[in-house]
Amino acid sequence: IENRDRKTLRDLCQDLHNADLADLIEQLDQERRTQLIQLLGRDFDFAVLTEVDDTVREQILEALPVAAVAAGLRDLDSDDAVYILEDLADQEQEEILARIPEFVRVRLRRSLDYPEETAGRRMQSDVIAVPPFWDVGRTIDYMRESDDLPDEFYELIVVDPSFRPVGTVPLNRLLRTKRPVRIDEIMDTPIRTIRGDLDQEEAARIFERYNLVSAAIVDDSNRLVGVIHHDDIIDVIEEEAEEDIRGLVGLGDEEISDNFLYTARSRFPWLFINLWTAMLAASVIGLFDESLEKMVALAVLMPIVASMGGNAGTQTMTVTVRALATRELGGFNKRRIFWRELLVALLNGVTLAILIGIIAALWFSNAELGGVIGAALVFNLLVAGSAGFVVPVLLDRFGADPAVASSVFLTTVTDVVGFFAFLGLATLLLL
């Protein structure tokens, strides 16, 4: 298809939804991607680029001439344009912005001035705002006459003379109200505005909590600067959940389309840190080399204690990390949850200890060995339960992201304590 047959290509792509065209582009090789976009020319909707993954997008933008990118971005909704621009280097951003008409440029810059991952970055700057004293008829006439309205909106934002939002009117209510009724009689108050510099994750929590379809974004002095829609929020929620999952196992921001060199490099730091923590655990074992020489059963059993501690601790840690992320864990229930986790650890620890104690005693025909491994297991599970709770809570308090750093700390603790408790107890009691 790709052999310069513009017309057929255009017809084919016209029928595709952006998301489907994006999939198609991802599956082409790099050269073909640029060819396709250039062949489509003005018929290529740059909104498609918001649907391909980051790595592919960067490649495409680098390959296209600056003028083509600028022309493509000019017609986009401002949130899509910002989404595409934000990953570019500063210099390229400037070159592209320079070729965009001034009134669009000003808006894009205002979004780009907000830090990454804030609500301001995700907002759309074309907003429909009406004063409270208009009536329904005038509002509808205004909407019919103006040409530059955004494609999608679900609510009107009502603003006072200094452009501060005072309420919202869902479109369906506007439709169902008679023309002479004043806007301020049908608007919903109080309005839930979101500050542009609010973290996008916090903004998502507000949407979720109040089931919003869109929300007004305001600046420091509470003036309306944009609006953020449900579909952007869905993307944010997906991204943030993804980040939590990745953080737990030390993955960076890799994408499925990255090559192996990039992937290997992004995963290495985590493995490197884990190498040292594993070494630390090994050196704890090294302290007991004489005991191990005397009783090789200890070497056989010791990984069980460490690994059970790791598993139980990870369960507690995961619950805690997610509860912190979704703001379910606050000052008022911290103490209760901590005690619950200790009780859970004790209960499961004792049950599993009895089980493993019996098995170990039978396996090595040594009842005392069974007692020792049982005791070590209970102890390690208690430590794992506390650490699984305390580590993320402390990291959160000191401003670190608990999802990323918790599990290194945690497995170090459970390994070191597991080996030390089991080998130490055995040395004291059995040898």
By CB under 8 A, what part of segment 28-47 binds its own copies?
none
What is the rounded radius of gyration, in angstroms, for the C-alpha atoms of the chain? 29
Q: In what order do the strands lie in the sheet with 155-159?
A: 129-130, 155-159, 165-170
Query: What pairs with residue 159 in β-bridges?
Result: 165
Closest separation in Å from C-beta 13 to its own copies? 16
Instruction: Fill in the per-residue mask, 215 to 254: x = in contact with its own copies (CB under 8 A), - = not in contact.
Output: ---------------xx-xxx-xx--xx-xxx-xxxx--x
Q: Considering only residues 157, 228, 308, 393, which one is a binding residue for its own copies as defined by CB under 8 A?
A: 308
Among candidates 233, 171, 238, which has minimal Cα distance to 207?
A: 233
- Measured from the CB atom, the residue of 133 and 268 that comes closer to its own copies is 268
Q: Dihedral (C-alpha) 67, 69, 70, 73: value to the nearest 10 degrees?
A: 160
3-state secondary structure 110-151: HHHHCCCCEHHHHCECCCCEECCCCEHHHHHHHHHHCCCCCC
- Measured from the CB atom, the residue of 95 and 150 that comes closer to its own copies is 150
Q: Dihedral (C-alpha) 210, 216, 217, 221: value to the nearest 10 degrees?
A: -110
Q: Dihedral (C-alpha) 175, 176, 182, 187: value to the nearest 10 degrees?
A: -80
358 sits near its own copies (criterion: CB under 8 A):
no
Stretch near its own copies under the rule CB under 8 A, chosen from 56-64, 90-98, 101-109, 334-342:
334-342
Task: Report the distance separating Cα 417 and Cα 427, nearest Å.
Answer: 15
Q: Considering only residues 2, 43, 75, 289, which one is a binding residue for its own copies as defined by CB under 8 A?
A: 289
292 sits near its own copies (criterion: CB under 8 A):
yes
Task: Report the distance separating Cα 216 and Cα 195, nearest Å.
Answer: 8
331 sits near its own copies (criterion: CB under 8 A):
no
Q: Considering only residues 42, 180, 210, 220, which one is a binding residue for its own copies as defined by CB under 8 A?
A: 210
Q: Considering only residues 2, 188, 293, 368, which one is a binding residue for its own copies as defined by CB under 8 A?
A: 293
351 sits near its own copies (criterion: CB under 8 A):
yes
Site for its own copies in 261-280 (CB under 8 A): 261, 263-264, 267-268, 270-272, 274-275, 278-279
Closest separation in Å from C-beta 425 to its own copies? 17
CA distances from 361 to 2, 49, 352 (A): 71, 63, 14
Left, alpha or beta for 4 (phi > 0: left; psi -120 to 50: alpha)? Answer: left
Stretch near its own copies under the rule CB under 8 A, chosen from 60-68, 82-90, 96-104, 326-334:
326-334
Closest separation in Å from C-beta 317 to its own copies? 8
Number of residues that bind its own copies (CB under 8 A): 105
- Measured from the CB atom, the residue of 84 and 97 that comes closer to its own copies is 84
Angle at 58 between CA 57 and CA 64, to 5 degrees: 90
- Measured from the CB atom, the residue of 94 and 328 that comes closer to its own copies is 328
- Measured from the CB atom, the residue of 134 and 154 that comes closer to its own copies is 154
- Measured from the CB atom, the residue of 161 and 190 that comes closer to its own copies is 190
With H, G, I as helix, E, B as strand and everything else as coil, classify residue 186.
Answer: helix
Among candidates 350, 349, 364, which has minimal Cα distance to 298?
A: 364
Q: Considering only residues 4, 332, 398, 399, which one is a binding residue for its own copies as defined by CB under 8 A?
A: 332
Task: Report the distance separating Cα 285 and Cα 267, nearest Å.
Answer: 27
431 sits near its own copies (criterion: CB under 8 A):
no
Site for its own copies in 136-195 (CB under 8 A): 140, 143-144, 149, 152-154, 170-172, 174-178
Closest separation in Å from C-beta 293 to its own copies? 5
| Residue 120 near residue 161, CB atoms below 8 Å | no
Closest separation in Å from C-beta 289 to its own copies? 5
CA distances from 71 to 39, 81, 83 (A): 15, 11, 16
Q: Considering only residues 39, 71, 88, 337, which one is a binding residue for its own copies as defined by CB under 8 A?
A: 337
Site for its own copies in 59-88 (CB under 8 A): none
Closest separation in Å from C-beta 97 to its own copies? 25
With H, G, I as helix, E, B as strand and everything else as coil, classify residue 401.
Answer: coil
